């Protein structure tokens, strides 16, 4: 029989938390830092996160359907972990896009193209 708790041991194996440097780093953050990292800085990131969560839960229009989702604590934890990972990924992508845009703005314009 397939034991679902073994499918994602990185989310459920509490014995390994002491060896996980990322987990230790996140736990050492101040509440203010976590709050800042948790807030989407642009409307685009907020919309992507919203679409992702709607896709995970189901995409029924709320004005026509009253939905109640029931799940176990373990599955809710996995959903939260997935949403957090998506958020961190989107934040990194947003920072990279901003960095690349700033590099493009700072590149000198050459009238001869890219020739050196």
Quick check: 83 and 53 in contact, CB under 8 A? yes
- Model confidence pTM above 0.75: no
Mean pLDDT score, 75-91: 80
pLDDT of residue 89: 81
User: Does the pLDDT value for residue 102 go beyond 70?
Assistant: yes
Per the structure, how many domains does the chain have?
1
Quick check: 19 and 9 in contact, CB under 8 A? no
Which pair of tokens denotes residue 6?
A: 């073994």
Quick check: 56 and 85 in contact, CB under 8 A? no
The per-residue pLDDT for range 60-69, each reduced to its tens digit, is 676 777 777 7
Quick check: 91 and 45 in contact, CB under 8 A? yes
Mean pLDDT score, 14-42: 73
Within a domain: 90: yes
Q: What percentage of the chain has pLDDT greater than the value 70? A: 72
Which pair of tokens denotes residue 41?
A: 């800085």
Within a domain: 101: yes
Which residues constitute the domain of residue 80?
A: 46-55+72-105
pLDDT of residue 1: 43
User: Does the pLDDT value for residue 76 go beyond 80?
Assistant: yes
pLDDT of residue 4: 45
């Amino acid at each position: 029989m397939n034991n679902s708790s073994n499918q994602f041991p990185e989310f459920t194996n509490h014995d390994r938390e002491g060896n996980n440097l990322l987990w230790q780093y996140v736990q050492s953050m101040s509440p203010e830092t976590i709050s800042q990292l948790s807030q989407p800085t642009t409307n685009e990131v907020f919309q992507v996160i919203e679409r992702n969560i709607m896709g995970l839960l189901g995409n029924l229009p709320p004005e026509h359907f009253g939905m109640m989702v029931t799940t176990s604590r373990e599955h809710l934890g996995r959903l939260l972990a997935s949403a957090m990972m998506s958020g961190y990924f989107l934040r990194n992508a947003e920072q990279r896009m901003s960095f690349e845009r700033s590099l493009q703005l700072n590149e000198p314009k050459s009238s001869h193209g890219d020739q050196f």
